[in-house]
Structure 1
Amino acid sequence: MRLTAWLGERGGIGHRDDASDAGYAPSHVRAAIRAGAVRRIRAKWIALPSAPAELVTAAFSGGTVTCTTLARRRGWWVPPDADATVHLHLPSHESLRAENVHAHWAAPLGPRRPRVLEASVEDALSDAAQCHPLDQAVAIWESAIRVEATTLEALRSVRWRSAAARRCLEHVRPGAGSSLETVFHVRLSAWGVRLRMQVNLAGHDVDFLIGTHLIVQIDGWAHHSSSADRTRDIAHDAQLRLRGYTVLRFSYSQVIYGWDYVERTLAAAVSRGLHLAPTTQNRARI
């Protein structure tokens, strides 16, 4: 196999020691560099011209991609206002060598792996906890649990060093259907009212139940975009109202970009007692 094909199988970038282990002599690597087939990144890394820019930046800087940069690569939820800045986990002895980089200087939570360019899941979550507001950080954590081969129990066993990471862990809840729901839950959990997620009422789960009778549905695009979805939602809302519940629906855009409106609306509903059981004697049972 040619060196370029070997690099292609590794995502376009590789460590020279790994190339040597795969049977590519140093002279072979040097010849490929001279021919322009691959480029040298500092002393120990080689890359194809098509290699992902964030991995090249990590190799050049002596670090690993982390936080939202790793989240994008792994398919975790990323805050909608996160820009293209490359987040790198860097050892304390490395200086910042590249532009458009957000550096997370810290010792890794586990053993340092010298031939990788991606931070561990745990390091990336720790960095996200210190880099983003609590609601967004917790959404990243819960997304990672859904995507990766890890569990809340496994994260609880980690010796987190930062108070921010430990605070995230306190707010992570199993069963969140989406990162949008996580953001909502974290923001509202400080209110001190009873808040439950994914409660089955009138034959279907509702996203949130505040108190006993105020239902909040978060209409993310993935599950509420078609005519059939909308018809199902309307039918379910009607059944809930017949049972004495108040149903409020908010969109992704409202939760993420218009939280003041959402919060004012919910506060108004609670102030009117809509989260409590109606007083009518003919209240239908669920």
Structure 2
Amino acid sequence: MTKIDREERTKKLRAWTRAQGGVAHSIEARAAGYSAHDLALAVAGGDLVRIRRSWVATTDCDPTRLRAASISGRVTCVSAAKLEKLWIPRLDEKQQHPHIAVRPTSSRFDASGLNVHWAKGPVIVSRTVVTDPIVNVLFHIARCLPRLDALAVWESAIRKGLADPVVLAKVEWGSSLAKELAEMSSALSDSGLETIFIARLRDLPLQIRQQVRIDGHPVDALIGERLVTQLDGFEHHRAKDRRRDLRADARLALRGYTVLRFDYQQVFYDWPFVESTILTAVAQGLHRARR
């Protein structure tokens, strides 16, 4: 093999490794047609780095994936959710550390700075996989986060098409927490903020419908016949968005609707105000159509 051929093969190996998420087991590399010699040349040339004996990675691989490979674990829970760009609640300092799933029999590894998940998820996973499948990710999220935060992440996965609520309901979870979330989850919420808002309202004796179209436009929630609630996300601050929402609120008001608008801070950190405002509006009959 000429030098040019070797360079071309190394280039292809690096591209293949990047396509695997930046890190790959040597068994998978050999199955893809790359020899141990190919791997050694790529590592020697600085195109790949070796993680322990059986893993190789690109030099720009995500650090969480590298850490998982270094202990023969899998990225899971909120760390995997971040990689998939799912909605994530604000996490405390410890929860921001990498979440890694390991086999129940694993031992002799450095767990410092990690959130280690020992429980076995519903889906059997090969030892050559470095990121948990989505069902296992949701399983660990159900056990790790507060119930409503976990529900918001589950519905984010559904919203992105990574999970199907019908399929999730049929999984043998082996966890009452995950089973409850599977029964609650739906594809209706547009955001994690909406998931938590609706879940909290469900505890109240109100008639609530999500994503109802009025005047050709969807509203986040309709209580009764005429009380609309709209939600402004954490990054909702652009003047263009504000003007659009003011126009929508005006259209609804002219059609006889009352519009209550709440933001991220209020829903997450001032829920008593949100609940009191909605219940007072209902007490005034603003949820009923005028006869």
What's the TM-score once normalised by structure 1's chain length? 0.85
Letter of the 2:75 counterpart: V
Whole-angstrom distance in 2 between the partners of 1:224 and 1:8: 36
Q: Check conservation: 2:101, 2:116, Cα contact below 8 A.
A: yes
Residue 277 in 1 paired to residue 288 in 2? yes
Letter of the 1:106 counterpart: A
Moved more, 106-115 or 1-10: 1-10
Equivalent residue for 1:201, pick from 195, 214, 219: 214
Whole-angstrom distance in 2 between the partners of 1:37 and 1:154: 41
Equivalent residue for 1:58, pick from 58, 68, 72: 68
Letter of the 1:277 counterpart: R
Q: Which residue of 2 aligns with 1:79?
A: 89
Whole-angstrom distance in 2 between the partners of 1:125 and 1:177: 18
Q: How far apart are residue 203 of structure 1 and its match?
A: 4.2
Local SS of the residue matching 1:191: coil
Q: Which residue of 2 aligns with 1:90?
A: 102
Letter of the 1:179 counterpart: G
Q: Check conservation: 1:209, 1:216, Cα contact below 8 A.
A: yes
Q: Could you list the per-position Cα deviations for residues 55-94 of structure 1 after superposition, in whole angstroms to 9, with x for gaps in the alignment?
A: 1111112221111111111121111336531111221011
Q: Check conservation: 1:60, 1:97, Cα contact below 8 A.
A: no
Whole-angstrom distance in 1 between the partners of 2:214 and 2:156: 26
Question: Cα gap change, 1:192/1:97 in structure 2, threshold over 3 Å: closer, same or farther?
Answer: farther
Q: How far apart are residue 34 of structure 1 and its match?
A: 5.4
| Count of residue correspondences | 278
Q: Could you list the per-position Cα deviations for residues 11-55 of structure 1 after superposition, in whole angstroms to 9, with x for gaps in the alignment?
A: 332111122233433344345545655433223212233221111
Q: Check conservation: 1:202, 1:236, Cα contact below 8 A.
A: no
% identical equivalent positions: 36
Local SS of the residue matching 1:8: helix
Q: How far apart are residue 239 of structure 1 and its match?
A: 4.0
Q: Could you list the per-position Cα deviations for residues 199-223 of structure 1 after superposition, in whole angstroms to 9, with x for gaps in the alignment?
A: 2334432211223332211122678
Question: Cα gap change, 1:36/1:243 in structure 2, threshold over 3 Å: closer, same or farther?
Answer: closer
Question: Cα gap change, 1:260/1:43 in structure 2, threshold over 3 Å: closer, same or farther?
Answer: farther
Residue 156 in 1 paired to residue 169 in 2? yes
Q: Which residue of 1 aligns with 2:3?
A: none
Local SS of the residue matching 2:203: helix
Whole-angstrom distance in 1 between the partners of 2:287 and 2:88: 35
Whole-angstrom distance in 1 between the partners of 2:43 and 2:232: 52
Question: Cα gap change, 1:242/1:114 in structure 2, threshold over 3 Å: closer, same or farther?
Answer: same
Residue 11 in 1 paired to residue 48 in 2? no
Letter of the 2:284 counterpart: G
Q: How does 1:1-286 map to 2 (within 5 A)?
A: 1-2=9-10, 3-30=13-40, 32-33=42-43, 37-81=47-91, 83-95=95-107, 97-220=110-233, 225-227=238-240, 229-270=241-282, 272-277=283-288, 283=290
Q: Could you list the per-position Cα deviations for residues 256-283 of structure 1 after superposition, in whole angstroms to 9, with x for gaps in the alignment?
A: 333343233334434x3345426xxxx3
Letter of the 2:277 counterpart: T
Q: How far apart are residue 5 of structure 1 and its match?
A: 4.5
Q: CA RMSD in A?
A: 2.6
Q: How far apart are residue 245 of structure 1 and its match?
A: 3.2
Local SS of the residue matching 2:211: strand
Whole-angstrom distance in 2 between the partners of 1:23 and 1:249: 57
Whole-angstrom distance in 2 between the partners of 1:242 and 1:275: 14
Letter of the 2:260 counterpart: L
Whole-angstrom distance in 2 between the partners of 1:15 and 1:111: 17
Local SS of the residue matching 1:190: coil
Q: Check conservation: 2:25, 2:128, Cα contact below 8 A.
A: yes
What's the TM-score once normalised by structure 2's chain length? 0.83
Question: Cα gap change, 1:207/1:31 in structure 2, threshold over 3 Å: closer, same or farther?
Answer: closer
Moved more, 199-208 or 140-149: 199-208
Residue ranges of structure 1 left out of the alignment (5+ in a row): none
Moved more, 4-13 or 91-100: 4-13
Q: Could you list the per-position Cα deviations for residues 140-159 of structure 1 after superposition, in whole angstroms to 9, with x for gaps in the alignment?
A: 11111122353211211211
